[in-house]
Amino acid sequence: MNPVYDFKGKVALVTGASSGMGLATARAFAEAGAAVALVDINADKLSAATEELTKLGHTAIGIVCDVADELQAEAAVERTVAEFGRLDMVYNNAGILGPMCEMSDETVDAYDQTQEVNLRGVWTFMKHELRQMKKQGSGAIVNCSSLGGLVGLPGRAAYHASKHGVIGLTKSAALDVAALGIRVNAICPGCIDTPMSDGIDPEATKIFLKDQPIGRAGRPEEVAAAVLWLCSPGANLIVGVALPVDGAFVAH
């Protein structure tokens, strides 16, 4: 059973919010009483996700955005604040798998796209989220890294480079603002059952899961639970961590 949070009067923003871990987290924030800004590049899926929450009586808006574009990121944060008056909690989740091949076979275009979405997309949003939170003197940000930010795996060089970078951004930003009432952390999901995982060869997934000791893929709701805890007062002393949410993959 997950803890029950009271986020009434709080405002949350989630990128990559139209499906998977992002949508599960947007739902969880909304169910806890927060107003939620859902951000995604896929307009159709974003509209459906936002409508799902509003039909249930939650307060939510959808913002179409390419997270790699700083001007769009700035506008998304500004719209959230204009709509709801503040910004309290963030899950910077948007990401792509990128190329799955040996590093020597990667193309520069595929590599650059992976970094633009997975790494620069966190930087663009966090930059403007932090500006708002500094004005308020409060806030909590959770960035989505990966177990790929903690270890290396063959055929995943571009992806793992981006996710290692997210942890570096997280730790440095956390130190910038730790004394200002703002907490920045990262989570490192393992193999999670999401639409993104559909792009991975099923046989490769079976091999991967052999190293995830709980013996199954994680669920998006389990990732959302970790994000909400890190944004809650219960995690007030947790700053600058990269928390594995991986069924013990990196424990061995």
The pLDDT of residue 221 = 97
pLDDT reported for residue 28: 98
Residue 1 lies in a domain: no
Q: Is residue 249 part of a domain?
A: no
Express each pLDDT in 25-81 by its tens digit.
999 999 999 999 999 999 999 999 999 999 999 999 999 999 999 999 999 999 999
Residue 81 counted as domain residue:
yes
> Does this model's pTM top 0.85?
yes
Strands (E), the chain: 11-15, 35-40, 60-64, 89-92, 139-144, 182-189, 242-245
**Which of 232, 231, 200 is closest to 217 using CA atoms?**
200
Asked whether residue 250 is domain-assigned, the answer is no
- The closest alpha carbon to 39, from 58, 65, 60, 20, belongs to 65
111 is catalytic: no
The C-alpha R_g of the chain, in whole angstroms, comes to: 17
Q: Pairing state of beta strands 89-92 and 60-64?
A: unpaired
* Structural domain includes residue 4: no
User: Do the beta carbons of residue 53 and residue 26 sit within 8 Å?
Assistant: yes
Residue 248, domain member (yes or no):
no
> CB of 178 within 8 A of CB of 237?
no
Q: Tell me 117's DSSP state.
A: I
For residue 181, being part of any structural domain is answered with yes
Q: What is the domain-level CATH number for residue 36? A: 3.40.50.720
163-221 pLDDT, tens digit each = 999 999 999 999 999 999 999 999 999 988 877 665 566 666 666 667 778 788 889 99
Checking if the pLDDT of 133 tops 60, the result is yes
**pLDDT at residue 201 in the model:** 61
- Please tell me the total count of domains within the chain: 1
Residue 230 near residue 142 (C-beta atoms within 8 A) = yes
From 5, 91, 111, 159, active-site residue: 159
Please report whether residue 6 resides in a domain: no
Domain residues for 117?
11-243
Cα–Cα dist 170/209, whole Å: 27
Residue carrying the six token digits 């790929």 = 148
